[in-house]
Structure 1
């Protein structure tokens, strides 16, 4: 697992689009290029090209279609999140593709966005991803989270082969400090960094530091995985 670096939200958010449908890329690009502080720096037609361009262009956010030729979005997640600097990977999907969304979140994607979301939601999601927050489309979030909680979503650390139940979750959070456990519980509640900071009386940068430590100590690839771990460990309802 590669822990994402702790950083402030970039002044200009650099976005990479990866989708084999030209009309989808064109529509997303048209929306984002008219949003303040967002720049589309590249477009890819498959997962392999997305990884190559991400390594070259160093985007802050990669919007990646799940279904693409050559290398699909699911297979592209691992090499994308292994890059340094690591882009925030948000999967583009269609309604009813819950199984693939679940697999994407298990693989370390930072969230998912329905292709038919409106312009305001698209822009908000890109900004949330760049800030390090999870991006989960409301339309299918409940179904996907329920599926992941029932199906062993967060993989166990390499040191505990086969451990996927509540006991392993408790073991994984055992090394966290009291403040990190508080932050993890709030991740489990779906709170963004800004709200976590306000509730705890700390800055967003400090929240990001705690989140990075949580991901490292619990061997989680994304805050979505960490949020699910909070539920498994009984830290969030």
Structure 2
């Protein structure tokens, strides 16, 4: 059986090296790349094509959500474990919505981290598993809100969305506010991260 190939993203070198050492010592796991920034992680993920990405959320050049969105778009068979010191409902919701498979606080023990990587690689359900079916997320939105999410994901500004839908810019802003609330998100960029891993047709009907 092949080793589970892991990419580790954390901006704190001591923490990152510690995580890599823990995983490298575990049977059946191999750290194939590590990164300290989102940009590095994107390049290295594309180069090594890991089975599992273990990522922090807050990074100097962005967030782990951006890496999650990239991995979901370019490496659909990869699995993602979020390991972060920000263990709160907002962080969990953002990671879940972006497409992470599992969420662990950095207070987790070494063996928990190892088991999370192993379980994520198999795709099996687990107590820390946080994936929510997309239809559950979409079910919270009205048809107009789904369309707004699609256009936000395409990078359109509120004025452009208004022109596309034939509604006022202020109305678009109200829809975006409602979408954030229903999806449990705080920022527009989190909507983009979620939308980028969805085919546009999935938002319709």
Q: Which TM-score bucket, shorter chain as reference?
A: 0.5 to 0.7
Instruction: Kindly indicate whether residue 47 of structure 2 is the aligned counterpart of residue 56 of structure 1.
Output: yes
What is the Cα deviation at residue 26 of structure 1? 1.2
**How many residues align structurally?**
148
Q: Give yes or no for contact 1:112–1:136 (8 Å, CA) kept in 2.
A: no
What is the Cα deviation at residue 24 of structure 1? 1.2
Gaps of at least 5 residues in structure 2 are 147-197
Gaps of at least 5 residues in structure 1 are 1-9, 164-214, 221-237
Q: Cα deviation per residue 1:116-175 (whole Å; 9 max; x = unaligned)?
A: 2111111111000000135654xxx8xx89xx9xxx972359994436xxxxxxxxxxxx
Q: Cα deviation per residue 1:151-208 (whole Å; 9 max; x = unaligned)?
A: x972359994436xxxxxxxxxxxxxxxxxxxxxxxxxxxxxxxxxxxxxxxxxxxxx
2:57 equivalent in structure 1: 66
- In 2, Cα distance between equivalents of 1:136 and 1:46: 29
What is the Cα deviation at residue 69 of structure 1? 1.1
- In 2, Cα distance between equivalents of 1:48 and 1:159: 35
1:114 equivalent in structure 2: 105
**Larger-Rg structure:** 2
TM-score (norm 2): 0.62
SS of structure 2 residue aligned to 1:162: helix
Give 1:31-42 correspondences, 5 Å limit.
31-42=22-33
Q: Give yes or no for contact 1:18–1:50 (8 Å, CA) kept in 2.
A: yes
Instruction: Kindly indicate whether residue 35 of structure 2 is the aligned counterpart of residue 78 of structure 1.
Output: no
- The correspondence for 1:162, drawn from 145, 152, 155, is 145
Q: Give yes or no for contact 1:156–1:162 (8 Å, CA) kept in 2.
A: no
Q: Superposition RMSD on alpha carbons, in Å? A: 3.3
Relative to structure 1, is the Cα distance of residues 156 and 82 closer, same or farther in structure 2, using a 3 angstrom cutoff?
A: farther
What is the Cα deviation at residue 63 of structure 1? 0.4
